[in-house]
Chain A
């Protein structure tokens, strides 16, 4: 046994320029950013205010930044795949097969685990405690640990670009191909340990949010007064708690097979590889609802705000959400109808899959009826929501097609399937988090994003998506299977070139989004949101200033209605002043910042890397370090800081003054309107 296990200089791909150059590029950018931060003296600020922060709003913002950065990485993979397939007609293209395989595996892994999940969890972090009218999540330090463990996983995946290689068998490592016998390299190990580490972070997020939503709400907030986003977040986190342990167990079994010669999924000694499919999809199907349900919540908030009406069918929306939450656990087998379970089993799972379309349809009609008769404002969050409704309905209908086992036997593993899940994940999840970040950006940063560039981004994305993935359906029906690194069917070629053009249009959309953020930051002074309520919102997140103080609310709001803030604004207009007189301010205890999350993640990366490369002494060191961190954290004496009453009073008075001024403005407008009416 050598000191560095399996790690040698051969792990660095000197022979392949592409990964080396891109790896060097990433390293240069990282070093450049780090150097800039150190030279400009921002490091102490970053450490104090962000890295060690346990504030749910800061953690939410960091989650979204992680999601955004990884989106770029995953999107570069997408460009490479589309370009390869546009080129590789009767030709090898520019990517050798082993590299192409890593690219599609990394694309799927990154987009699900390190783009969609961080974005969705980030928005929940940012908004759920504000909407519930409380000061933080149930376990703030645990929240920070969750975030940094997700980062640790992302770092390991990125590291595989340069040191060694990534998994080559898709975003789910199906055995027996992923067993040691057929995949002796480190690729599968990189995948498994990265997902194990970030998966534990996600599980802790689930526990944290279920507890927060069920046990920490402002006085008066019944279950049937909770905003829709909180309901969908509850459903999503219940699914995390129920599904992520299955992922952990399944990957642990695969790792036991690979590391110590167990026989869970091997094709020898009685192992059963179909058990892996069953287990992984028992997690994998709920996973897609973990992603989409909070997005349904975002659409509900956006549609209601920008239609100026309460959400239509609020209670039916709750029933629909919880119905999806439960049924999502009863359909996993539709991912492998071709296993051969027999007509009865396939039939039951096919019908269960179709049934999910019913509560989803309920939701869609509710959004349509919310808009009906309302004063619809076409701001960018609303555009994304409308784009979603059209796109998602089509994606959902192709899903119902795939739920028919007989049709699935034909379409299984074809580009039709790939087009279907891109249709629902881009059209549902990605559009949703885009609507969400634009809608809540002013709450997080105190200024609004540029609307004109935002609209450009929306139209480019929407058109780009259909040009890129419309052809996928046709290609699937023409018999093209997924993951081909080259092909020789002439009929496919024009559609693949069209798809490449679509990716180009999406690229323009992403550039417009980057420009939107840059331009808005530069002109932020004239985009300030002074009142904390830029969109004329309806729920409690808009009652506090933008950005909110660390403690969110000077005094916990008292909830008397399903749309508490809308109700308060209406009453304030009636009586001509703010509904609540200035309260008696008291000092507020808040959780103290802690480096525990960052240090834990550091040891997680060390342990994970050592396990991947079989460096056993380093594994031991990493585990001892993690245990020591736990003991040091458990030994702490002071875990709260007290925010003085004067500080609370100063901030709250400023906010009350801004709101009063806005109220007077509103009343004056009303007055003028009444005078001009005949």
Chain B
């Protein structure tokens, strides 16, 4: 199998985007006529499509939040409830976790098991810390009587942020499985493809969090 780098050197279209002239096929017209793409491209591409669908799922919860933000049922609003210090710490945890995930990718590319496991562990611990802070925030709200059943605004808030938290939890389960698989299976092609998908997922959760940070917390706190 030719690796992307060697393909780049020979001037072929390494990611099957369809815009580079392929060597040896004179009638290549740049419309994806180079035959079936290699497995790595297919797996990564399919997972991207999944992430896009997940973004749409989140967009529904975002839309609901913006519609219901004023439906307080006589209870508190964002200004009384949100503590941006927690949000700030959460953001730091998640972004650093993503950075560790990027370092893991480098370790995987070098086939270094020790560093792979170390960076994966850091990624996971920071994810756990994020979840801990979120749990802390949620329990604080509920104990002050501002649980999700109190008003439509709180319903939308808990559902959107909780949905992200559920995704992080699922990601941590996946991360645990990957930490077991690297030592057990080695850097096989299929395991590396799976890691590619995991890292896409983990970074995508960051992007969603940036949306939550902005729309729920920052704009929320500006909303009377």
Contact = CB atoms under 8 A, between A and B. Distances in A.
A215 B57 contact: no
A242 B36 contact: no
A396 B101 CA distance: 52
Contacts of B177: 631, 634
Contacts of B54: 245
Interface stretch (A12-20, A54-62, A204-212, A466-474): A204-212
A221 interface: yes
Contact of A270 (B35, B60, B72): B72
Contact of B46 (A211, A271, A559): A211
B33 A242 contact: no
B68 A217 contact: no
Contacts of B153: 270
Contact of A264 (B72, B152, B184): B152
Interface string A380-404: 0000000000000000000000000
B148 A262 contact: yes
A275 B64 contact: yes
Contacts of A80: none
Interface residues of B, number: 48
A221 B184 CA distance: 41
A223 B184 CA distance: 42
Contacts of A139: 46
Interface stretch (A253-261, A303-311, A614-622): A253-261
A49 interface: no
B57 A207 contact: no
Interface string B58-76: 0011011001100111000
Contacts of B150: 269
A224 interface: yes
B45 A269 contact: no
Interface in B14-37: 16, 25, 27, 29, 31-37
Given A215-B37, A216-B37, A260-B149, A138 B53 contact: no
A592 to B, nearest CB: 13
Contacts of B156: 264
Contact of B68 (A222, A244, A272, A639): A272
Contacts of A210: 49
Contact of A207 (B16, B35, B46, B190): B46
Nearest to A215: B37
B46 A269 contact: no
Contacts of A245: 53-54, 56-57, 60
A217 B35 contact: yes
A587 interface: no
A262 B155 contact: yes
B86 interface: no
A183 B68 CA distance: 24
Contacts of A559: 33
A236 to B, nearest CB: 14
Interface string A119-143: 0000000000000001000110000
A492 to B, nearest CB: 40
A106 B13 CA distance: 51
B50 interface: yes
A567 to B, nearest CB: 14
A203 B68 CA distance: 28
Given A138-B46, A211-B42, A211-B46, A218 B53 contact: no
B45 A211 contact: yes
Contacts of B31: 222-224
A361 interface: no
A272 B67 contact: yes
A177 interface: no
A275 B33 CA distance: 44
Interface in B129-178: 148-153, 155-156, 158-159, 173, 177
A250 interface: yes
B33 A220 contact: yes
A215 B42 CA distance: 6
Nearest to B173: A627
Nearest to B67: A275
B64 A241 contact: no
B48 to A, nearest CB: 9
A260 B53 contact: no
A134 B52 CA distance: 26
A263 B57 contact: no
Contacts of B194: 634
Contacts of A556: 35-36
B111 to A, nearest CB: 19
Contacts of A261: 148-149
B207 interface: no
B41 interface: yes
Nearest to B63: A279
Contacts of A270: 68, 71-73, 151-153
B49 A207 contact: yes
A104 to B, nearest CB: 28
B181 interface: yes
A336 to B, nearest CB: 16
A515 interface: no
A407 interface: no
A214 interface: yes
Interface string A625-649: 0010001001101010000000000
Contact of B152 (A221, A224, A269, A631): A269
5 contacts: A138-B42, A263-B71, A264-B68, A269-B152, A271-B71
Interface of A: 134, 138-139, 203, 206-208, 210-211, 214-225, 241-242, 244-246, 248-250, 253, 256, 260-264, 266, 269-272, 275, 279, 556, 559-560, 627, 631, 634-635, 637, 639
Given A134-B36, A220-B27, A220-B35, 15 more contacts: A206-B53, A211-B42, A211-B49, A242-B56, A248-B57, A253-B159, A260-B148, A262-B148, A263-B152, A270-B68, A270-B71, A270-B73, A271-B155, A275-B68, A559-B33
Instruction: Please give me the 5 A-B residue pairs with the lowest Cβ-Cβ distance, nearest first.
Output: A270-B71, A270-B152, A249-B60, A219-B35, A222-B31
